[in-house]
Every structure is written in structure tokens, then in C-alpha cells.
Amino acid sequence: MALKWDWKVVKDADEAVKDLFDGAKISMGGFGLCGIPENCVSAIKRKGTKGLTIYSNNAGVDGFGIGILLETKQVKKMVSSYVGENKLFEQQLLSGELEVELTPQGTLAERMRAGGAGIPAFFTAAGAGTLIAKGKEVREYNGRKYILEEAIVSDFAIVKAWKGDTMGNLIFRKTARNFNPLAAMSGKITIAEVEELVPVGALDPDQVHLPGIFVKRIFQGKGYEKRIEKRTTAKPSPAPGASEKGAK
């Protein structure tokens, strides 16, 4: 009897987040706007779930990414390493509407990875001797101070991959890999949206970045905008042999 591997597959993002509850903790993949789970974020907005704590490298931008959840005031707390691209975020922080926990980027990544690896806490030198260390245990090793950081284990994780199979094995594309594998590891219920969903056996095992053991639900996303956070362009180079005046 052949084994059936499609039990993880759900129809769309709305079905994937159907049991998301008020006050849930969510780990989210992405770096800036690169590799963010656009479909899941939009579904959470439609669902209207409130009081969320979101672990994410950044807070999106105004009108996109986590920014759309800030507009509806569905986010209670952000745990991030970089939040400088969102004016609404700043307004809600200064007005006391939003709780913020700033975490060094490497520490945030390791907290997610540790959560998935079953490591409850670890010592790191990042932040030692700064406000980041306030209220945390400090130890000294080889003459250097380290602070204790707790692992992140969230209720849900939402991530986006380039390809995935029905067993939940995922392949990320280039820099869109970023925080996605780590966020996926840290969630009790990990939801993956993919650009292309393929049958089991279609992916080269050596190319898999995240094994399906971490993924509980998967679906093929649609309508990706893939916005560029900051577009920077260079002036075209002069044609070979062209004069400086002619190049202008």
C-alpha cells in the first residue's frame, strides 16, 4: 500500500491560519520585504486576530508586510532587530500602543534556531554591557562577559519558500532563504507557503534547505508582489569610445 503524503496540504492561506487565536505568538520569515509570507500575512489581516506577538527580523513597511497588521492594530508586541522603515510602527511605539523588544540580529536568529533544536537558552556576548543585558543573567568565560538569552518557541510560524513538496520539504531561493528556515524551526505549528508545490520525490534531497519534519501545513501561494524595499539604480555607463560630453 502506497503512503499518502498530501495530508499536510491545505487549500490556501485562509485555511492555513484558521485556528490562529488572539494573543498568539508568531515567528515570521523574511528579511526586509525579501521572502516574506505575503499570503499568510494577508490572511491574518482578514481573520482579524488581535493581540499578536510577532518575532521577525523587521516590521515591514507602511502598507506592506507586517505593516498591514499594524494598520489594523492586530499586533501587540514586536520582537525584532531592525524596525527603521515603518513610520506607523514608530508612531505606535511612541504612543505606547505597541510593545517592542529590540534584539541583536544574530541573537534573534539563534533564539529561533535554538527553539527548534530543543535548546531552552544560551549565552552570547552580543549585547553584553548594554541595555540589552538589563535583567538578564551575566556570566564570564575566558575573561569576556556573556548574557543569557532564551530560545523562541512560538505558537505558529509563517514562512515562504520557492519550492516545496507535499511532505513539507522546502527549498528557498537565494537571499529569500534568510530567516525563513530558522522561523520555521521555532514554531509549534509551522505554515509554509510556496511558489511551486510539487509531489514527493520531485525535489533533490541534497537541495532541500528545510526538512518537512518542521512543517505542519503547506500550500501553493499566489499573487506575489515581491516589492523592493529600497530601489537603488546606477547611471548607465558610457558606451565604449563615447566622449564624456556625449555620454551626458
Total residues belonging to the chain: 248
Tell me the mean pLDDT in the region 16-41: 96
Q: What is the pTM of this model?
A: 0.89
DSSP-assigned states of every residue in 127-177:
TTTSGGGTTS-EEEETTEEEEEEEPP-EEEEEEEEEEEETT--EE--GGGG
The confidence band for 2, taking pLDDT boundaries of 50, 70 and 90, is very low
pLDDT over 80 (residue 63) = yes
Q: Residue 182: inside a domain, yes or no? A: yes
CA torsion angle 106 110 113 118 (round to 10): 180
| Count of domains for the chain | 1
Quote the domain boundaries for residue 182.
6-120+153-220
Q: What is the pLDDT of residues 129-186, one digit of tens each?
A: 999 999 999 999 999 999 999 999 999 999 999 999 999 999 999 999 999 999 999 9
For residue 129, tell me if it sits in a domain: no
Q: Name the residue with higher pLDDT: 129 or 237.
A: 129
137 within a domain of the structure (yes/no): no
| Cα–Cα distance for residue pair 18/99, rounded to 1 Å | 25
210 found inside a domain: yes
Pair 154, 114: CB distance under 8 Å = no
CATH of the domain at 40: 3.40.1080.10
Residue 133 lies in a domain: no
Separation of alpha carbons 127 and 124, rounded Å = 8
